[in-house]
Amino acid sequence: MASPSDDALQRACDALLSADGLVLATGAGMGVDSDLPDFRGSEGFWRAYPPLRALGLVFEQMANPLWFDRDPHLAWGFYGHRLQLYRVTVPHAGFERAAAMAARMPQGLFAYTSNVDGQHQRAGTSERRVCEAHGSIHQLQCTAPCTDETWTAEDVVVEVDVATCRAVGPLPRCPHCGGLARPNILMFGDGRWVSDRTDWQDAAFAEWLEGIDPTRLVVLECGAGMAVATIRHLSERLVRRGATLIRINPRDAAVPAGQVALVARAQHGLTALAERLGI
């Protein structure tokens, strides 16, 4: 198993000890230690969704709003399955470790994620301290959309035939126009995503940042990929303003000059940091 170097761990701890606030910035790799798939490469995706191999559909094709027009039962088969999976997933211990590190800082923690799985909230982070850059599967919107409103998917039940990855039975509808509803997730080539909820979260994040000296901010980035680099861009933008970056990733851990790379899985890296800090 990849292990962070002692020197990198010490530099990370020094930064955490003198920080006033912690941005926990996460991509798909953060969920891997909670046993969630990261969809890396077509093989990884097809391992998670075998029926889509037969259809020759990879993640970038499946995560496209066109399926809600073309084949709504297939679209909801994919998203309905993920909705159920993320509902029952228990976040790994690394989430709690990061929260414990931030609890010692005057401004605490803000989670900024490209994940749509709601795992930060499940791990106990307040809704007001999470920004979901690509939306959330736990919120729905109209496919048209006829309104900029989004609503909770809490009571939504979509039965999925896992052998075909197709939804069976009725699909979620828009309460305003009666049309088909879809997850409030930014998909590939998505001109119909309602961004309002993420815009509010982004504004809350900007306000939180304003209360912190940028040189006393630590960005703890875990499992952010390079293909869709939303999270990496955020981390590196904050570094340019003076923040310290700790990048935890078993494969893609290279960092800009002066920043800290921990070559490790998310849970392992976060645990190693917390233990060294005596948390």
Ligand X SMILES: NC(=O)c1ccc[n+]([C@@H]2O[C@H](COP(=O)([O-])OP(=O)(O)OC[C@H]3O[C@@H](n4cnc5c(N)ncnc54)[C@H](O)[C@@H]3O)[C@@H](O)[C@H]2O)c1
Q: According to the binding rule CB under 6 A, does residue 132 interact with ligand X? A: no
Which partner from the list ligand X, Zn ion, none does 13 bind, CB cut-off 5 to 8 Å by kind?
Answer: none
Cβ atoms of 129 and 234 closer than 8 Å: no
Query: Which x/- pattern over 18-57 shows residues binding ligand X (rule: CB under 6 A)?
Result: ---------xxx-xxx--x-xxx-----------------
Cα 247 to Cα 12: distance, rounded to the nearest angstrom: 10
As measured in angstroms, the least distance from the Cβ of 24 to ligand X is: 13
Cα-flanking dihedrals φ and ψ of residue 185, to 5°? Answer: -120, 140
Query: Which x/- pattern over 120-159 shows residues binding Zn ion (rule: CB under 5 A)?
Result: ----------------------x---x-------------
The DSSP element (H or E) to which 168 belongs, if any, is: strand 166-168
Q: According to the binding rule CB under 5 A, does residue 270 interact with Zn ion? A: no
Q: Which stretch binds ligand X (CB under 6 A): 155-163, 225-233, 236-244, 254-262?
A: 225-233
As measured in angstroms, the least distance from the Cβ of 159 to Zn ion is: 23
CA distances from 37 to 41, 97, 140, 179, 231 (A): 11, 22, 22, 31, 18
Q: According to the binding rule CB under 6 A, does residue 252 interact with ligand X? A: yes
Which partner from the list Zn ion, ligand X, none does 224 bind, CB cut-off 5 to 8 Å by kind?
Answer: ligand X
Cβ atoms of 232 and 247 closer than 8 Å: no
Which partner from the list Zn ion, ligand X, none does 150 bind, CB cut-off 5 to 8 Å by kind?
Answer: none
Which partner from the list ligand X, Zn ion, none does 236 bind, CB cut-off 5 to 8 Å by kind?
Answer: none
Other beta carbons within 10 Å of 55: 15
CA distances from 40 to 29, 44, 120, 253 (A): 9, 5, 21, 16
Which two three-digit tokens encode residue 147?
């309104």
Cα 198 to Cα 135: distance, rounded to the nearest angstrom: 6
Q: According to the binding rule CB under 6 A, does residue 116 interact with ligand X? A: yes
Binding region for ligand X (CB under 6 A) = 27-29, 31-33, 36, 38-40, 114-117, 134, 222-225, 227-228, 249-252, 265-266
